[in-house]
Structure 1
Amino acid sequence: MSIDSPVIEKRDGRYRLVYEEVYTTDIDDLWAAVTQPERLARWMADYSGDLRLGGQWEVASDDDGPWGRGTVTACDPPHEFTTTWQATGEEPTELVVRLEPVEGGTRLVLEHAGVQSIFYGAGWQTYLERLAGYVVDPAADLGGEDAWQRRFAELKPEYQERFGAL
Structure 2
Amino acid sequence: MDNDEIRLELRREYPDAIEDVWSALTESDRTARWIGTWTGEPGVGNTIMLTMTAEEGSEPGPAVIRECDPPKRLAMDLHNTDEPTWRVELTLTPHGDGTVLDFVHRMPRPDWDTSDILKGWHFYLDRLGAALVGEPVPEWDTYTPPSLEA
Scaled by the length of structure 1, what TM-score is found? 0.74
Q: Does 1:133 align with 2:130?
A: yes
More helix by share: 1
Alignment length (residue pairs)? 140
Identify unmatched segments of 5+ residues in structure 2.
none
Q: Deviations over 1:6-29 (max 9, x none)?
A: xxxx33364211111110100000
SS in 2 for 1:87: coil
CA RMSD of aligned residues (A): 2.1
Sequence identity (%): 26
CA 1:63 to 1:113, structure 2 compared with 1: closer, same or farther past 3 Å? Answer: closer
The aligned residue for residue 78 of structure 2 is 85
Indicate conservation of the 8 Å contact 1:36/1:51, yes or no: no
Q: Which stretches in structure 1 are left out of the alignment for 5+ residues?
A: 1-9, 159-166
The answer to whether the 8 A contact 1:40-1:46 is kept is yes
Residue in 1 aligned with 2:89? Answer: 96
What TM-score comes out, normalization by structure 2 length? Answer: 0.82
Measure the CA separation in 2 of the matches of 1:110 and 1:100: 12
In the alignment, is residue 123 of structure 1 matched against residue 115 of structure 2? no
Whether 1:65 and 2:65 are equivalent positions in the alignment is no
CA distance in 2, matches of 1:48, 1:63: 17
* Alignment partner of 1:25 out of 9, 16, 26: 16
1:82 deviates by 1.2
The AA in structure 2 aligned to 1:58 is: M
Please list every run of at least 4 consecutive aligned residues from structure 1 whose deviation after the TM superposition is greater than 4 angstroms: none
Residue of structure 1 aligned with 2:47, choices 22, 46, 56: 56
Give the letter aligned to residue 122 of structure 1: K
Amino acid at match of 1:44: I
Pick one of 38, 43, 54 that aligns with 2:34.
43
